[in-house]
């Protein structure tokens, strides 16, 4: 969700609710000689409102589980989650008079602070990273499919190299020919079998290089490029860096016959796409990693908050 001008309504409403909470808190500390207390009428009211906001924010998870329910627009739910969840913090701080209290309330307060802070952090990341990803990862794919696509890229590269260097002994399953990673060379069984699309480039004739001619390519591919395609996260690889990779491929073009230039270009494109997938993975971790903190702690907060409500009413 983008934090843009469309959030102004929620922002103003949140500000108004915060001001109302602050006014109630101020009345409490002025009127009650003991200062603000969670157990006073105003304190209880602020606590109930704060917990209600938390429950609403938590309900977003349930709402996502059943997207078919007609319970308002997803955007409204998300905005409510964001702003009411944020408001829960000042309400609870007013409720407790800015004191963290005993063991349970202290745990609750820290859970709330971490949950809200992680939510704000996530909202900021989600407002910034998607734009960055669009700019830096034009070949973005579905995150869950990155490993799968990476495998297809490797197979595509295998085929391209074997087309020049002959069989390199890579095991190949029959169904492999049915899928490609999205980049196609002259050897494109899928395109041939599925019927050539207007968008698919026509295949060109490929000449098998001699052993001596293909040696630099074979050596580069087996010792460097294939390792990069299999384990792109491994540190210190030249192909993980765009500038160094460009230099590597430029050098390769000089040592190979001119007829291999197209294949080298394909391999360079495959490496480039693999790098983008790696970048996408990293950005995705930033974009969603905070949820590993936010969601579990918010659930713990709801559970312990309910316990606190019951116990506080009793004691």
Partner 1 sequence: MARTRTTKSVAQRIDLNYFKRPTPFKRAKLWLAILAPVVAMVWIGWQVFGGDQRVYSSGPLSAAHAVLEKQCAACHVRESGGFSAKAADAACLACHDGPAHHPEMTAGSAPKQACAECHAEHRGRVRLAANTRNCAQCHGDLGVAGPGSRFTKRIRSFADGHPEFAALRTAATDGGAARDPGTIKLNHALHMKEIRSGPNGPLVQLTCGDCHRPSLSGETEWKYGDANYAAAMDSYTAAEEFAPGGSRGLPAMQPWSDRQLMAPVKFANACAGCHLLTFDARFEEGVPHDRPDVVHAFLVKKFSQYAAAHPGELREVQEPERSLTGRGAGPRTRTILAAQWVTEGVAVSEELLWHKTCSQCHAISATSLQDAEIARWDAVGSARGSAAGAAVKMRTDSAKLPAVAAANVTLQWLPHAKFDHDAHRGFACTGCHQNALKSKQTSDILIPGIAVCQTCHASGPGFASAACSDCHTYHDWAKRKEVKPTFLLPGLRGGN
If one asks whether residue 190 binds partner 1 (CB under 8 A), the answer comes out as yes
Instruction: Answer yes or no whether residue 175 interacts with partner 1 by CB under 8 A.
Output: no
Distance CA 223, CA 165 (A): 15
Site track for partner 1 across 42-81, x = CB under 8 A? ----------------------------------------
Which residue in the set 265, 278, 286, 309 belongs to the binding site for partner 1 (CB under 8 A)? 265
In this complex, which beta carbon is closest to partner 1, that of residue 40 or of residue 237? 40
Is 103 a binding residue for partner 1 by CB under 8 A? The answer is yes
Taking the complex as a whole, the smallest distance from the CB of residue 212 to partner 1 amounts, in Å, to: 24
Which one of residues 149, 256, 277, 283 is an interface residue with partner 1 (CB under 8 A)?
Answer: 149
Give yes or no for a contact between 277 and 151, defined as CB atoms under 8 angstroms apart.
no
Q: Work out how close the CB of 301 gets to partner 1 at its nearest, in angstroms, rounded to a whole number.
A: 8
Q: CA-based angle 202:206:208, to the nearest 5?
A: 165
Contact, 99 vs 75, CB < 8 A? no
**Could you tell me if 277 and 136 are in contact, meaning their C-beta atoms sit under 8 angstroms apart?**
no
The minimum distance between CB 199 and partner 1, in angstroms, equals 4
The runs of H, that is alpha helices, within 4-102 are 8-31, 41-65, 74-95
- 179 is an interface residue for partner 1 by CB under 8 A: yes
Binds partner 1 (CB under 8 A): choice among 87, 116, 270, 274:
270
Least Å distance between CB 4 and partner 1?
Answer: 27
User: Locate tokens 């202290």: which residue?
Assistant: 106
The single residue among 204, 211, 243, 258 that binds partner 1, judged by CB under 8 A, is 204
126: its two tokens: 């989600």
Binding site for partner 1 (CB under 8 A): 33-35, 37-39, 99-105, 107, 139, 141-145, 148-149, 152, 179-186, 190, 197, 199-201, 203-204, 262, 265-266, 269-270, 288, 291-292, 295-297, 299-300, 302-304, 307, 311-315
């Amino acid at each position: 969700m983008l934090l843009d001008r469309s959030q102004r309504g929620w922002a103003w409403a949140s500000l108004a609710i915060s001001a109302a909470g602050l006014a109630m808190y101020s009345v409490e500390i002025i009127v009650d000689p003991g200062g603000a207390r969670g157990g006073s009428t105003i304190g209880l009211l602020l606590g109930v409102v704060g917990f209600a906001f938390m429950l609403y924010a938590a309900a977003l998870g349930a709402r996502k589980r059943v997207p078919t329910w007609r319970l308002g627009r997803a955007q409204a739910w998300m905005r409510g989650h964001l702003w009411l969840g944020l408001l829960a913090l000042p309400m609870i701080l007013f409720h407790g008079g800015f004191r963290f209290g005993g063991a349970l309330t202290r745990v609750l307060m820290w859970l709330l602070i971490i949950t809200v802070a992680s939510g704000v952090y996530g909202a900021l990341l989600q407002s910034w990273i998607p734009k960055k990803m669009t700019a830096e990862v034009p070949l973005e794919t579905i995150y869950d499919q990155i490993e799968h696509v990476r495998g297809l890229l490797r197979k595509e590269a295998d085929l391209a190299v074997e087309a020049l260097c002959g069989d390199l002994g890579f095991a190949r399953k029959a169904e492999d020919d049915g899928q490609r990673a999205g980049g196609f060379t002259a050897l494109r069984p899928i395109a041939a079998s599925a019927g050539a699309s207007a968008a698919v480039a026509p295949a060109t004739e490929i000449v098998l290089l001699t052993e001596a001619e293909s040696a630099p390519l074979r050596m580069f591919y087996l010792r460097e490029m294939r390792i990069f395609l299999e384990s792109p996260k491994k540190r210190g690889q030249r192909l993980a860096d765009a500038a160094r990779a460009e230099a590597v491929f430029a050098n390769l073009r000089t040592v190979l016959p001119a007829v291999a230039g197209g294949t080298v270009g394909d391999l360079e494109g495959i490496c480039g796409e693999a790098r983008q997938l790696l970048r996408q993975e990293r950005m995705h971790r930033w974009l969603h990693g905070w949820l590993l903190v936010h969601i579990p702690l918010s659930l713990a907060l709801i559970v312990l908050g309910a316990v606190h409500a019951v116990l506080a009413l009793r004691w």
